[in-house]
Amino acid sequence: MSDLNKLGLAEARDALRAGDVTSVELTESCLKAIDEADALNAFVHKTPEIALERAKAADERIKAGNAPSMCGLPIGIKDLFCTKGVPSQAASKILDGFKPEYESTVSQQLADAGAVMLGKLNMDEFAMGSSNETSTYGNAVSPWRRGNDDAQLTPGGSSGGSASAVSADLCLAATGTDTGGSIRQPAAFVGITGIKPTYGRCSRWGIVAFASSLDQAGPMTKNVRDAAIMLETMCGHDPKDSTSAELAVPNFEAMLTGDIKGKKIGIPKEYRMDGMPAEIEKLWSEGAEMLKAAGAEIVDISLPHTKYALPAYYVIAPAEASSNLARYDGVRYGRRAQLAQGDGITEMYEKTRAEGFGHEVQRRVMIGTYVLSAGFYDAYYNRARKVRTLIKKDFEDVFAAGVDAILTPATPSASFGLGEMTEADPVQMYLNDVFTVTVNLAGLPGISVPAGLDSQGLPLGLQLIGRPWDEGDLLNTAYALENAVGFVAKPSKWW
């Protein structure tokens, strides 16, 4: 078999079990693809020794007939996950040189299931960004281009390295994390599948915290079946995360029947934004038609507080970030600034954080500090938390009325050029998450599925939002949509 790196998880798993291929062969194929793809800047810490060691162990387990779900499958890990003995710096200069003494629960579960870690993936610094342009490693680059134009495009963010790597077949799948859209927006930008599960499904332990009430890990894969396989491995109760749900994890793959007859799919009118490109509008209605043709009932719904989701998010997320990022003080880990004669501890904190945090991270930490400061806490932070309650209630009302899933566009535009948004004010960049951020605020599962190409040949995605803890049903609806769309486009190799 050639081009083994181009396989998905399910295909590779079946080939491994049939004895048609070994994990070492799969892994070597990916390592070669990674070495040829430095221009994408997706893998920022390569771990070939660990990969080959785990691949050999996986081959032994497969030979012994003792192969867990992801045995021998090579994947990439977002730099936000702490991986023992391997640099884990959340794409921040302030964590230069940090090698954790422990492994995140999610990456441990993947390793226990036999997955092979190929290396760490680029991302926006502390997952704050929508274009992977805030990384200390430099921009991750999308494998996609606008026709023959050789301008570099963003793979989205914050999980931009994961998106670029999966789309360019550098790995079979990758982990991502999603606080406001950081799995679903990049997945949509590069034509892959990405799911953020219900808040509490995946343990947050060992994942560098951005906004703890919103952060969730999830898989970024080449298709819906792969997402089901990998999500199941990533989920599960963990006593080390007090918000981790003590719920059984179903066999998501077994729930992929493709049968959605009688399912009620909601189309929220508030997601029809002014200035939305006609192509996205068209894609959205075509998606609804496809689900209808597959036997679903399409209903118009209203989520009246949608407009307030982004402003609420830009209070709550920075507030939590300002608290979470207080730990980067140049004392316990990472990088400390050079001090001048006579500098005390306050100067050490201030200089370390000024040098170590990039511009966007500094801005969000300071906004968070402001909205939590005396005199403004009620006006900003408490008000935003009340609006969050209303946003969640919007969804509860719709689900109580019998809606099974909600269909929306994943992003308000296709991928844009790296550097094109540099002059825009920060709020323009924040608008990338307008369709995804509601889902984090309400703690719901959401999945982005590639649904077509725009006139420039760039992928566009549709998002499905499901009921809490019902990822299985959501994945099945996504599977039906995927089958109907038949998206097969791949970027042509220029790197």
Partner 1 sequence: MSIDQSTAAKVAKLARIKVEDDALPALASEFNTILGFIEQLNEVDVEGVEPMVSVEPMRLKRRVDEVTDGNQQDKVLSNAPDAREGFFAVPKVVE
Q: Give least dist CB 258 to partner 1, A.
A: 29
Q: Give least dist CB 352 to partner 1, A.
A: 9
Task: Count residues binding partner 1 (CB under 8 A).
Answer: 74
Token pair 């970024």 is found at 220
In single-letter form, the type of residue at position 127 comes to: A
Contacts of 17 (CB under 8 A, 6+ apart): 62, 67
Closest CA to 176 of 78, 244, 45, 46: 78
Q: Mark residues 174-213: x for contact with partner 1 by CB under 8 A, - for none.
A: ------------------------xxx------------x
Token pair 């507030």 is found at 319
Closer Cβ to partner 1, 113 or 315, answer by number: 315
Closer Cβ to partner 1, 370 or 495, answer by number: 370
Token pair 């998606």 is found at 287
Closest CA to 184 of 494, 463, 483: 463
Closest CA to 413 of 138, 174, 153: 153
In the region spanning residues 393 to 452, those forming contacts with partner 1, defined by CB under 8 A, are 425-427, 430, 441-443
Contacts of 42 (CB under 8 A, 6+ apart): 34, 76, 121, 122, 140, 141, 155, 160, 161, 162, 164, 165, 168, 170
Closer Cβ to partner 1, 11 or 355, answer by number: 355
In the region spanning residues 113 to 172, those forming contacts with partner 1, defined by CB under 8 A, are none
Q: Which one of the spans 202-210, 271-279, 281-289, 332-340 is the region binding partner 1 (CB under 8 A)? A: 332-340
In the region spanning residues 453 to 472, those forming contacts with partner 1, defined by CB under 8 A, are 468
Q: Give least dist CB 206 to partner 1, A.
A: 14
- In angstroms, the CA 81 to CA 206 distance is 6
If one asks whether residue 370 binds partner 1 (CB under 8 A), the answer comes out as yes
Closest CA to 184 of 434, 364, 421, 393: 434
CA angle 99, 104, 105 (to 5 degrees): 160
Closer Cβ to partner 1, 199 or 271, answer by number: 199
Query: Is 156 in contact with 162 (CB distance < 8 Å)?
Result: no
From candidates 285, 343, 483, 494, binder to partner 1 by CB under 8 A: 343
In the region spanning residues 306 to 325, those forming contacts with partner 1, defined by CB under 8 A, are 307-308, 310-312, 314-315, 322
In the region spanning residues 380 to 399, those forming contacts with partner 1, defined by CB under 8 A, are 380, 382-390, 392
Q: Give least dist CB 164 to partner 1, A.
A: 28
Residues forming the active site: 78, 158, 182
CA atoms within 13 A on the CB side of 491: 29
If one asks whether residue 81 binds partner 1 (CB under 8 A), the answer comes out as no
From candidates 3, 49, 101, 274, binder to partner 1 by CB under 8 A: 101
- Going by their DSSP bridges, the two strands 446-453 and 193-196 should be labelled as antiparallel
- In angstroms, the CA 174 to CA 195 distance is 11
Q: Give least dist CB 330 to partner 1, A.
A: 6
In the region spanning residues 273 to 302, those forming contacts with partner 1, defined by CB under 8 A, are none
Q: Give least dist CB 372 to partner 1, A.
A: 9
Q: Give least dist CB 195 to partner 1, A.
A: 17
Instruction: Record the tokens describing residue 59, joined without a space.
Output: 């081959």
How far out from the chain centre does Cα 321 lie?
A: 18
- In angstroms, the CA 125 to CA 128 distance is 6
The dihedral built from the CA positions of residue 450, 28, 127 and 154, taken in this order, carries a sign that is negative
From candidates 333, 399, 435, 479, binder to partner 1 by CB under 8 A: 333
Q: Give least dist CB 249 to partner 1, A.
A: 16
Closer Cβ to partner 1, 256 or 444, answer by number: 444
In the region spanning residues 225 to 264, those forming contacts with partner 1, defined by CB under 8 A, are 239, 242-243, 245
Q: Which one of the spans 66-74, 165-173, 358-366, 399-407 is the region binding partner 1 (CB under 8 A)? A: 358-366
How far out from the chain centre does Cα 246 lie?
A: 23
Closer Cβ to partner 1, 157 or 200, answer by number: 200
Closer Cβ to partner 1, 67 or 127, answer by number: 127
The Cβ of residue 20 has, within 10 Å, a number of other Cβ atoms equal to 11
Closer Cβ to partner 1, 262 or 344, answer by number: 344
407, β-bridge pairs: 464
